[in-house]
Amino acid sequence: MGDEQTMPYPYEFYNISDEEKSLNEKLHAYPYEFLRVGPKGYLVSKIFKTDAANIYNLPLRSSDIFVTSYQRSGTTWTQELVWLLASDLDYEKALSTPLIERYSFLEMFMNVPDTGIDGFMKALSQNSENFDKESMLKMIKWLGSPITGDLATRPSPRFIKSHLPMSLLPRNLLDTAKMVYIARDPRDVAVSYYHHTRLFMHTGFKGTFKEFWHLFHGNLMVLTPYFEHVKEAWEKRHDPNMLFLFYEDLSKNLPAAIHRVADFLGKKLNDAQTAALCDHLSIENFKKNKAVNFEEFRAFGMLAKNEEFVRKGKTGGWREYFDEEMTQQAEKWIEDNLKDTDLRFPSTN
């Protein structure tokens, strides 16, 4: 893998406008370079281009399980649920092996800024009192390397995480592999994503939530346009190899969601097993669970002191962040985008 030229790729990459560029630069501590790709114009960091065709042409296996989403929609929660069900409830392994090792994160490499390791270190400098530079460099190299080559050597079943929309994922994925997609009310996604960009020091978002909201619903955050992302998956929801979930449904009735995922994976659970899984997946236990809460990055100075990866875990928390103007903008934005589809978020019914 790694030969960008020879792999067929159906989409064009193109530059973002100068106005978009300056908005982004103003609000980010880190100078990511962005491009747009394909007819929907998804925003990707420039280095995505180096492995995009390998991702698109990735050889798949019938045992592959993908967990995908627009980021901050409940991916980690879903990953843990899917992994445990597919692995016959092996809690011992789940608690002892970080989720980032149990899943291959398809486009993780594009989150490491294109200006290289020095820039990355600089972006972390304000948080860098105690970390070990050598292990940090190793970690960044690992995070910043495309994984399509490595995936070929992975034993089955392969668990793959991605925030890419369907059209940028391996072509004909649903003809071969299984996918669980999770969607969430975009207002809660925006709030959660805002905290996420503050948590990971290298993304270093400097602005207010209002400014973040402007970028998010204006399609200036990574992998927006948000609604195109969700709609692509929604259109495939009846495919036997696709399970489409809403964060709000997991929140409201986790046992029912667990049974839907179990049915999809051909697994059966009794009441005691379901109760134990609900307990394991509760927000309180997730916060304490070192295998899923990404706290290992703290030792590398990558995480802001006052932020956490597993945060509130609530639906409707956006109300505390949106003023009247943003609330109206959001309503109109959601209404406009739902006009041509029967997609409805449980929270907007």
Catalytic residue among 28, 163, 217, 229: 163
- Of the pair 52, 281, the CB lying nearest ligand A3P is at 281
Query: Which of 313, 329, 343, 348: binder of ligand A3P (CB under 6 A)?
Result: 313
Residue tagged 């880190």 (tokens)? 30
Instruction: Name, in order, each residue with C-beta under 8 angstroms of 128's C-beta and a sequence gap of 6 or more.
Output: 121, 301
329 within 8 A of 217, measured Cβ to Cβ: yes
CB atoms within 10 A of CB 328: 11
Q: How far is the CB of 192 from ligand A3P (least distance, A)?
A: 3
> How many residues interact with ligand A3P (rule CB under 6 A)?
19
212/225 Cα distance (integer angstroms): 14
Q: With contacts defined by CB under 6 A, name the span among 107-115, 135-143, 188-196, 225-233 that binds ligand A3P.
A: 188-196
179/28 Cα distance (integer angstroms): 33
Query: Which of 281, 291, 303, 330: binder of ligand A3P (CB under 6 A)?
Result: 281
242/81 Cα distance (integer angstroms): 16
120 in contact with ligand A3P (CB under 6 A): no
For 293, how many CA atoms within 13 A lie in the half-sphere containing its CB?
20
Q: How far is the CB of 104 from ligand A3P (least distance, A)?
A: 16
203 in contact with ligand A3P (CB under 6 A): no
Q: How far is the CB of 99 from ligand A3P (least distance, A)?
A: 10
Does the annotation count 163 as an active-site position? Answer: yes
- Of the pair 312, 332, the CB lying nearest ligand A3P is at 312
Query: Which of 38, 74, 165, 170: binder of ligand A3P (CB under 6 A)?
Result: 74
69 in contact with ligand A3P (CB under 6 A): yes
Whether cis (ω within 30° of 0) applies to the bond prior to 225 is yes
104 in contact with ligand A3P (CB under 6 A): no
93/153 Cα distance (integer angstroms): 21
111 in contact with ligand A3P (CB under 6 A): no
The distance between the two most distant Cα atoms of the chain, rounded to a whole number of Å, is 57
Instruction: Name, in order, each residue with C-beta under 8 angstroms of 63's C-beta and a sequence gap of 6 or more.
Output: 156, 157, 158, 177
Query: Which of 16, 273, 311, 343: binder of ligand A3P (CB under 6 A)?
Result: 311
Q: With contacts defined by CB under 6 A, name the span among 89-97, 116-124, 143-151, 187-195 that binds ligand A3P.
A: 187-195
Q: How far is the CB of 249 from ligand A3P (least distance, A)?
A: 12
- Of the pair 24, 69, the CB lying nearest ligand A3P is at 69
77 in contact with ligand A3P (CB under 6 A): yes
347 in contact with ligand A3P (CB under 6 A): no
Q: How far is the CB of 195 from ligand A3P (least distance, A)?
A: 6
54 in contact with ligand A3P (CB under 6 A): no
283 in contact with ligand A3P (CB under 6 A): yes
243 in contact with ligand A3P (CB under 6 A): no
Q: With contacts defined by CB under 6 A, name the span among 66-74, 113-121, 222-230, 256-264 that binds ligand A3P.
A: 66-74
CB atoms within 10 A of CB 338: 15
Under the rule (CB under 6 A), what is the footprint of ligand A3P?
A: 69, 71-77, 188, 192, 195, 281, 283, 286, 310-313, 317
Catalytic residues: 163
